[in-house]
Structure 1
Amino acid sequence: MRLWSLHPSLLDRAALIAGWRETLLAQKVLAGGTKGYTNHPQLVRFRAHPEPLAAVGAYLVGLREEATVRGYRFDPTRILEPGDPAAMHDREPIPVTEGQLVYELSHLHRKCEGRSREWLERLPADGDVPPAHPLLHVVPGEVEGWEVR
Structure 2
Amino acid sequence: MRLWSLHPRYLDRQGLVACWREALLAQRVLVRPGRGYTNHPQLHRFRAQPEPVAAIGRYLAGLADEADQRGYRFDRGRIEQRPGTVARIPVTRGQLDHERRHLAAKLADRNPDRAVLLPAVPSPHPSFVVVAGPVEDWERTPR
Q: Same fold (TM over 0.5)?
A: yes
SS in structure 2 of the partner of residue 137 of structure 1: strand
**CA drift at 1:33:** 6.3
Question: Deviations for 1:41-74, whole angstroms, at most 9, x for unmatched residues?
Answer: 0100000000000000000000000011101110
How many residues are paired up?
A: 140
- Could you tell me which runs of 5 or more consecutive residues in structure 1 were left unpaired when the two chains were aligned: none
2:44 aligned residue? 44
Question: Deviations for 1:117-147, whole angstroms, at most 9, x for unmatched residues?
Answer: 110121113xxx3100111011000000001
1:103 aligned residue? 98
1:14 aligned residue? 14
| Residue 117 (str. 1) matches residue 112 (str. 2) | yes
* In 1, Cα distance between equivalents of 2:26 and 2:131: 24
| Alpha-carbon distance change, 58 to 108 in structure 1, aligned in 2, over 3 angstroms | same
- Could you tell me which runs of 5 or more consecutive residues in structure 2 were left unpaired when the two chains were aligned: none
* In 1, Cα distance between equivalents of 2:123 and 2:71: 22
Identity among equivalent positions (%) equals 57
Runs of 4+ more than 4 Å apart: none
| TM-score, normalising length: structure 1 | 0.89
| Residue 143 (str. 1) matches residue 135 (str. 2) | yes
1:61 aligned residue? 61
| TM-score, normalising length: structure 2 | 0.93
SS in structure 2 of the partner of residue 122 of structure 1: coil
**CA drift at 1:11:** 1.0
**CA drift at 1:93:** 2.0
Alpha carbons 1:58, 1:82 under 8 Å: kept? no
SS in structure 2 of the partner of residue 2 of structure 1: coil
* In 1, Cα distance between equivalents of 2:106 and 2:53: 29
* In 2, Cα distance between equivalents of 1:14 and 1:100: 22
Q: CA RMSD in A?
A: 1.5
